[in-house]
Amino acid sequence: MNRRAQILLCVLATAPTFAVAMETHEPNFLFVQADQFEYRAQDGDDILKWDAQGWFGGDYEKLWLKTEGEKRISGKTEHAEAQLLYSRLMTDFFDIQAGVRYDVEPHPRRGYAVLGIQGMAPYYIETDAALFLSNKGDLSARFKAEYELLLTQRLILQPAFEINMAAQEVSELGIGPGVNEIELGLRLRYEIRREFAPYIGLNWQRMLGQTADFAKADSEDTETPSLIAGIRFWF
C-alpha cells in the first residue's frame, strides 16, 4: 500500500471522531433578563426596585452577573448588590454556582464569597438558593422561589417567595440571627411580546426577630405592603 492510500485510510478512520467532536462542541450564548423592574407604592415612602440577571455560556458552563436593589423615590439608595458567579450543570435541572458578591449599599460595605444552586424544582418552581460568607466572617443565606401560572398564552400570574437568614448578629447592618426577613409577591403580567411584559401586583415584606428590633430602634417599619407596577423584559 502506497503512502497516499495510507493517509486516505487514516483520514477515513478518524472522520467519525472529528464529526462527533463537531457535534458535541458547546456553542456560547448571551442572555439577559430583568425579572423585576418596578415602582412600589408603599404609603408615601415609594421605591424603585430592580432584580436582574444575565449569563454568557452554554448548557454546561456559564458566567453569571446578578444585581438587585432598591432606591427611595425621594431619597437615597437603600440597597444595591452585584454578584459575579461561575456555574456548572449539576443535574438536568440545576446548576451549582460559586463566586463573589459586593454590596454597594448599605454602609459599611461588604464583600462576600458565594455558593449556591439555581434551577427548576419539581412542579416547575424556579428556585435560587445561596450561602454568603462576608469578608468579616458573617454567614448568611437567601432562598427565592417563583412559579408561573398561565391564565392565557399571554396573561401570566406569578407568585414569588423570598426568605433571608443569618447565622449571627451583624448590628452595624441591622441584621439579627435566624430568619430575619420574608417577602411575598404576586404579579400579573401581560406579554405584549415574549421578551417584553408590563405587570401589576402586590408585595409584602416583614422583618422578624432581632432584625425587626433594630428597625424599630431606627424608627423604621417592620412590615411593608406595596402596590407595584413594572416591566419584565429579556433578550
Asked if 171 and 214 count as a contact pair (C-beta separation under 8 A), the reply is yes
* Cβ atoms < 10 Å from Cβ of 107: 9
Q: Where does residue 232 rank: exposed (0-12), middle (13-18), buried (19+ CB within 10 A)?
A: buried
For the residues 197-225, what does the mean pLDDT come to?
96
Contacts of 220 (CB under 8 A, 6+ apart): none
Residue 111 confidence class, pLDDT cut points 50, 70, 90: very high
Whether the per-residue pLDDT at 2 is higher than 90: the answer is no
| Residue 195 pLDDT | 97
**Amino acid letter at 229?**
A
| Residue 74 pLDDT | 86
| Residue 23 pLDDT | 42
User: Which range, 69-78, 80-89, 217-226, is most confident?
Assistant: 80-89
Q: Give the number of residues written for the chain.
A: 235
Separation between Cα atoms, residue 42 and residue 214, nearest integer Å: 20
Whether the per-residue pLDDT at 6 is higher than 70: the answer is no
Predicted TM-score (pTM) of the model is: 0.87
Of 70, 82, 72, 67, residue with least CA distance to 34 = 67
For the residues 155-164, what does the mean pLDDT come to?
98
